Every structure is written in structure tokens, then in C-alpha cells.
Amino acid sequence: MAGEGESELPHRPVLYQEIIHFLQPRSGGFYVDCTVGAGGHAGGILQASAPQGRLLGLELDPQALTLARQRLAAFFPRLTLVQASYVSLSQQLEALGWEQVDGVLLDLGASSMQFDTAERGFSFLRDGPLDMRFDPQGPLRAEDLVNGLEQEELADLIYRYGEERQSRRIARAIVAARPLHTTTELAEVVSKAVKGPPGDIHPATRVFQALRIAVNNELQALQGVLPQAVAALAEGGRLAVIAFHSLEDRIVKEYLRRESRDCICPPEQPVCTCDHRASVKVVSKRPIRPGAAEVEANPRARSARLRVAERL
């Protein structure tokens, strides 16, 4: 089942077998794929939950949503697809009349098909406009940040969201080279600004990551959806989150750690006063990583980290 149709997808679903294993889809269950993309994971969940399992798929990218509709046409009417941010999860569930669900999936970050489409501006390997919006109708483009922020603001953004140690040098070079309009222009400026021996990754990798995260408000959106996802789960329901860099993974790890504890008072406090009660148990104590065979077949999967929690 896992391999069926996957070769046709422009975006290969990462940790596919692991998602099906941990979400344990069943007939009659209700599931949400908060980042449906081209429908790879969603198709697997719908197949495993046949004949009566239902799935809500959320997706900001209309191009991906069109592909998902084509890919998953056989699953209607068990499938509902909505162009929306997963920050609106509670609202979307209310609109469907779903009080609780049995599984929620978040596959974070940009997809392969977004990186591979030059005009979307996600990749420094392809010449395109400095866009990087998941939703093409979104108000903010990467070009707006590159050409509009003060040098200090730009440096802070690159450091905070890209964890780039040379952020100040890079920001200074970008400001000196303004205006910049294309991905290759920006990548060239960054490459020239970065000092030191060549590393394992392209010098512009962290800068492009930082701009994409800022344009799409990704970390704030993740912080906003996690409580909604846990609140939506029925007892025994599971939340599965695939992250691709440490900033995302840290948010997920810390949230699940906090929500799996009965007390979140400071360690030095002798008596609990928080009245906090655990809402989940962590299923995966360590993040689940792709196997060697998956990484060989799909090198972009190498940085994926899956964390799973179960509603108490």
C-alpha cells in the first residue's frame, strides 16, 4: 500500500510507513492532515481507514490543493479539502461538526514541489522571483523583507530563523547590494559575504530558510496549532508532527514535554500551585528518523524528525 501511486507524486511523502503505523487509522475514524500537500500521507490514511474513515485536509497552497484533489478523487465523499492555514483548525472542525478526531498530522515546512517550481522563489538553485509564499495571495514576499527591512532587523531575522552565525555580515552585504529581485541574485550576494571554508550546505541555505519562515509566519503558526490539535483529539487519538529543522522540532518537543506532565511549576518550588494536568503521553521518546533506504531514495528526507503523542 505504501508504494501505491507514490512515484506519481511531485512530492514524495516523508516517513510514510511510520505515519500510518503511529496514527493507526481505522474505519469510522476521523483524521486531519493539516498540511495535505499533494495528498501522499492523506491517501495512505484514507486507504487504511476504509471503508468509513473520514479525513479533513488543510492546505494553504492552491497549486498543491489542485494536485491533491486529482490524486485523491477516488476518496470523495470521505475526504474534505479546504484551502486554509492549520491555525484555523478549530474553526474548520466546527464547520464540519466534528467534535473530536482520532488523529492529526502536521508535515511542516515547504514541499519538494514548491522547491522545484522556480517561479515560487523557494530555492536558490533555480532562478526565480524572491517570493516564498505558501499562499500566493499572502501579503508579504521575501523581496519585501530583503529590500525593506533595516540592516539590524534583517540581521536579527536571519539569526533568529536561520540560526546563521554570520547574519550581520550577510545583512550588511544584502543592504549594500539592494535592490535584489531574484533568488540567484540573493544567493550570490550571500555566498560572497560568507567567510570560511566551504561547509556541507550551500551558504545561502539558512538565509533562505529564515526568509521563508518569516514570510509564512511558520513558527507562530505552529505554536498556535499545537494546543488546538491536542484539544481536538479524542481519548487515545494521536498527534504526529514531522519537522525538518531544529527551530520547529524544539517547539514541538517542548510543547509535548510540558503537556505530558502533571506539574509545570519551577523545579525549585516545593509545592505545586499550577493545577496543570497532563493531556498527552509522548509515544516517541526520541524523534523518529527516516531509514537509510528512504534517505537514499529521497535525500530531502534526511533531516526529517517525527514526534508522536497520544491524548490521555
Q: Residues 70-82: pLDDT tens digits?
A: 999 999 999 999 9
Looking at the structure, do residues 210 and 244 belong to the same domain, yes or no? no
Q: Give the CATH number, domain containing residue 84.
A: 3.40.50.150
Q: What angle do CA 280, 282, 283 make, to 5 degrees?
A: 120
Looking at the structure, do residues 102 and 243 belong to the same domain, yes or no? yes
11 — pLDDT class (breaks 50, 70, 90): low
Q: Which of 214, 240, 270 is the last residue of a domain?
A: 214
User: For residue 57, which of 121, 105, 102 has the smallest C-alpha distance?
Assistant: 105
Looking at the structure, do residues 189 and 230 belong to the same domain, yes or no? no
Residue 248, C-alpha cell as written in the block = 520547529
Residue 4, C-alpha cell as written in the block = 501505491
Q: Residues 135-177: pLDDT tens digits?
A: 999 999 999 999 999 999 999 999 999 999 999 999 999 999 9
Q: Which of 214, 244, 270 is the last residue of a domain?
A: 214
Looking at the structure, do residues 156 and 75 belong to the same domain, yes or no? no
Cα–Cα distance measured from residue 19 to residue 41, given in angstroms and rounded to the nearest whole number = 8
Decide which of 292 and 196 is more confident: 292
The total number of structural domains in the chain stands at: 2
Q: Give the CATH number, domain containing residue 166.
A: 1.10.150.170
Domain limits for position 49: 6-107+218-311
- Would you say the pTM of this structure is higher than 0.75? yes
Computed over every residue of the chain, the mean pLDDT equals 92
Using CB atoms within 10 Å of the CB of residue 7, give its burial: 0 to 12 exposed, 13 to 18 middle, 19+ buried: exposed
User: Bridge partners of 106?
Assistant: 241
Q: Which amino acid is at 298?
A: N
Q: 106 phi and psi, to 5 degrees?
A: -125, 115
Looking at the structure, do residues 180 and 227 belong to the same domain, yes or no? no
Report CA 95 to chain centroid distance, whole Å. 24
**Please, are residues 264 and 278 in contact by the beta-carbon 8 Å criterion?**
no
Q: Which amino acid is at 57?
A: G
Query: Which pLDDT score, from 0 to 100, does residue 1 have?
Result: 32
Neighbours of 274 (CB within 10 A): 12
Decide which of 13 and 274 is more confident: 13
Q: Residues 249-260: pLDDT tens digits?
A: 999 999 999 999
Cα–Cα distance measured from residue 208 to residue 204, given in angstroms and rounded to the nearest whole number = 6
Report the chain's C-alpha Rg in angstroms. Answer: 20
5 pLDDT more than 60: no
Question: For strand 101-107 and strand 30-33, is the pairing parallel, antiparallel, or unpaired?
Answer: parallel
Looking at the structure, do residues 286 and 232 belong to the same domain, yes or no? yes
CA distances (Å), 228 to each of 104, 176, 194, 235, in order? 10, 43, 40, 15
Q: What angle do CA 131, 137, 140 make, to 5 degrees?
A: 50
- DSSP symbol at 288: B
Cα–Cα distance measured from residue 244 to residue 39, given in angstroms and rounded to the nearest whole number = 19
- DSSP symbol at 182: B
Dihedral of alpha carbons 57, 58, 61, 62, sign = positive
**Please, are residues 265 and 273 in contact by the beta-carbon 8 Å criterion?**
yes
Residue 246 has, within 13 A of its CA and on its CB side, a CA count of: 6
**Please, are residues 186 and 131 in contact by the beta-carbon 8 Å criterion?**
no
Looking at the structure, do residues 102 and 10 belong to the same domain, yes or no? yes
